[in-house]
Structure 1
Amino acid sequence: MTRVFWFLVASLGQGPNQKRLSQYCADPSIDVIILSFVHLFPQQASGYPGIDFGNQCWAETYAGPGYGGQNKPANNRLLKCPNLQRDLYTCWQTSTKKILLSLGDGTTAYQLTGAVDGENLAKQLWYMFGPRSAGFSVDGFDLNIEHPPTDGSAGYRALATKLRSLYATAPGTFYLTASPRCVVSDASMADALRATTFDMVFVQFYNTAQCSARRWADANRNYAPGGAFSAAGFTYDAWTSLLAGTYSRNARVYLGLPGSARAASPWFELTVRQAANLANAYYRRSNFGGVAIWEATYASENVASGKNFYQNLKAALNTASTNKRLSCVPR
């Protein structure tokens, strides 16, 4: 992918009283939108993926074909989302934003069982949400697997590898991304990340204290752009080293931050200044991609100096791109 330093990524789908996708598509501060989540896989949702985008969908579901010879209508979870479908088309017509569909979340309800399950899910996602989809087409898929697999990661390895091979069958550019926790390496996703090429890695530098952005901010209260700083357990460079030995050595790494005190445990929240300092500190890393914010609704309600959190962070990234003091940041 083209190197762009100032990408701002926002996740959408789990905040209260969410605005419609079309409103975020109209905001020039955002470059990538991650729709969250596909939270159930066919084995758990009567043969179709289960989706949960909060108020963006209705209670009505599509009838699944069943799984493993059993059809359980009570497990149907592929919700109908007509407004979201319309907004996806509007985004495609009116903006250059990339829309990704995220798989997983923090629950333990989803699981793959073996490589065949993973390959079948990849094909199903591609035909339901890929370029041939009638009305619900996205630019790629994000893996946000937050609990350990029970099959030795065979399913997730096969899922990632099959998606990558399917991308090559269609014109255009499609993205495979991951949202691991900041611990190196994330036990739930390490094998999948080594299996094939990922384009972007949105590391969650929150919810895990020892490698969090909050710990970095507390250790670098007097940081000035271009100056030295203490890593203080922050694992950005460790993720770079891990990826260097994989197919994803050229992936862009993003600073995953909570959009407000409500988006994660309040302790992990950063002020705009703290988040900007962190971005400045790592901006000149050769694989730096930008900032990824969880979650768009919470971030839009977090206002300072007349701008919401993600607008302030996009402004900070744009400022960093012209700051000559950041040209020789020590590693």
Structure 2
Amino acid sequence: MSKLQSDALREAIASITNDSREKQRKFVETIELQIGLKNYDPQKDKRFSGSVKLPHIPRPKMKVCMLGDAQHVEEAERIGLDSMDVEALKKMNKNKKLVKKLAKKYHAFLASEAIIKQIPRLLGPGLNKAGKFPTLVTHQESLESKVNETKATVKFQLKKVLCMGVAVGNCGMEEKQIFQNVQMSVNFLVSLLKKNWQNVRCLYLKSTMGKFLSKDIQSCQRRGIKVLLSIGGGEGSYGLSSERDAREVAAYLWNNYLGGTSPSRPLGDAVLDGVDFDIEQGGAKFWDGLARDLKNLGKKKGSKGVLLSAAPQCPFPDEWDGGAINTGLFDFVWVQFYNNQPCQVSAGRGAFLAAWKTWQSVPAGKIFLGLPASKSAAGTGFVPAAQLTSQVLPLVKGSPKYGGVMLWSKFYDKGYSDAIKRHV
């Protein structure tokens, strides 16, 4: 890909807006730009981060809160902007649950100069962990203009995976405005990349209820491929606070991704086959309740059920997934035998087999050997294809719960799966 093709972009925008007009929603659909990168190594290359103000506000209803001194709180009230003064912040007393709830309530925060310095002392690191540390507003600036600037700003940040998405418009905008926003977003992102356009694998444009991804999912399912939604991961801040919280999350997942109904399903009418638990932080409590609630929802009349999988680390028991797996409700467990030197293959035959046999004892359907698809996919644990097929698989394939090999990830798979699949 050498540059953004204007005609193709206009055609994509027209298709999205026409589809939105044909199927009127009770809300305005957001239009998202999704980007896939190539020739980047998140483990070694410098991770970039940058923000750009777009010509037009993509999400007018984006919720912003002002953490202000008396003057800014008064100004916020005049323009109908939510605000909190220092006394309200003090009442939160660094309570993690309250700060997390605050971070979830708003898309972005602004703060007066006198307040922003006190944020770590008043709220702790919660807003920063959620990626929502406030933007400074001075008294020389118009608060209303700053709010509009915040709503028009999008951020590109490379994390652990080579894909990202940003809101670039909505279906209530003129097509010309969407075009201008997309063009600026793409050109800005390309300027951040070390090899510019040579690092861009693909660009997708979709609306909240767009058909593009849902058609791909359904095509895979017709071929017998199970498609699951993975929750958790190593980035961000998350966790379950109670059994009620678990039930609410289960209901959300069911209605928005699985067999339930919702006016704003992110993947359109595609019905995913299940949920993958990749829990790597936030405590171990209540994930077992989430698993039970999801399985129970899958028993509803007319439902195809809900598959559950988990991706624990190989040290046993897993710090976060262990309780959920012990419910006996999981169909697949793909154990990560990498980035864990005491139990991965390179630890030696004895240590590896001991860990494998321990995982065979858990009350789950099938156990998969999780490996990196290339040296750059993980810090440690890569096993050359020839070694895997000749030395490792013969040791584990006879296990009663052996399910196969899980690879992290498709992006790093440059022929590795082709080399091993007939042996798996």
Class of the TM-score when normalised by the shorter of the 2 chains: 0.5 to 0.7
Partners of 1:198 and 1:99 in 2: CA distance: 15
Q: Determine if the alignment matches structure 1 residue 251 to structure 2 residue 365.
A: yes
The CA RMSD over aligned residues, in Å, is 3.3
The letter of the residue matching 1:182 is C
Matches within 5 A, 1:32-43: none
2:382 alignment partner AA: E
Q: CA deviation at 1:109?
A: 1.2
> Shift of residue 58 of structure 1?
4.0
Deviations 1:262-312 (A, max 9, x none): 1111x321100222231221001111000001100101x2xxxxxx11122
Normalized per residue, the structure richer in helix is 2
Structure with max Cα Rg: 2
Q: Which residue is equivalent to 1:279? A: 393
CA offsets per residue over residues 25-76 of structure 1, 9 Å max, x none? xxxxxxxxxxxxxxxxx9565599xxx996766412899xxxxxxxxxxxxx
The residue type paired with residue 101 of structure 1 is L
Give the direction of change, closer, same or farther, for the CA distance of 1:46–1:314 in structure 2 (3 Å limit).
farther
Match of 1:178 among 286, 291, 310: 310
Q: Does 1:291 align with 2:414?
A: no
Q: Spell out structure 1 runs of 4+ moving beyond 3 A.
A: 13-18, 42-48, 52-58, 79-83, 230-234
Are residues 1:236 and 2:356 paired? Answer: yes
Contact 2:367 2:404 in 1 (8 A): yes
Distance of aligned partners of 1:109 and 1:164 in 2 relative to their CA distance in 1, 3 Å threshold: same
**Aligned residue pair count:** 235
1:125 equivalenced with 2:253 (yes/no): yes
Q: Deviations over 1:211-253 (max 9, x none)?
A: 11232xxx35xxxxxxxxx345651111122x1xxxxx25100
Question: Judging changes above 3 Å, is the alpha-carbon distance between structure 1 residues 111 and 255 closer, same or farther for their aligned structure 2 residues?
Answer: same
Q: What amino acid is aligned across from residue 293 of structure 2 in structure 1?
A: K
Gaps of 5+ in 1: 1-12, 19-41, 64-78, 221-229, 244-248, 302-307, 318-331
CA gap 1:192/1:250 in 2 versus in 1, 3 angstroms: closer
Counterpart position of 1:309: 416
Separation of aligned partners in 1, 2:279 and 2:308: 14
Q: CA deviation at 1:136?
A: 3.1
Find the aligned partners of 2:240 and 2:277 in 1 and give their Cα distance. Answer: 13
Distance in structure 1 (CA, Å) of the matches to 2:253 and 2:106: 12
2:237 maps to which of 109, 119, 129? 109
Are 2:261 and 1:97 equivalent residues in the alignment?
A: no
Q: Displacement, 1:84?
A: 2.4
User: Mapping of 1:1-331 within 5 angstroms?
Assistant: 16-17=37-38, 45-46=104-105, 58-60=165-167, 80=208, 83-93=212-222, 95-132=223-260, 134-149=268-283, 153-154=285-286, 156-169=287-300, 170-215=302-347, 219-220=348-349, 230-232=350-352, 234-241=354-361, 243=362, 249-265=363-379, 267-276=380-389, 277-299=391-413, 301=414, 308-317=415-424
TM-score by length of 1: 0.63
8 Å CA contact retained: 2:288, 2:327: yes
Percentage identity across paired residues of the two chains? 24
Q: Alignment partner of 1:91: what SS?
A: helix
Structure 2 residue runs of 5 or longer lacking an equivalent are: 1-33, 40-99, 108-158, 171-206, 262-267
Residue type of the alignment partner of 1:256: G
Please say if residues 294 and 306 of structure 2, whose CA atoms lie closer than 8 Å, have aligned partners that are also in contact: no
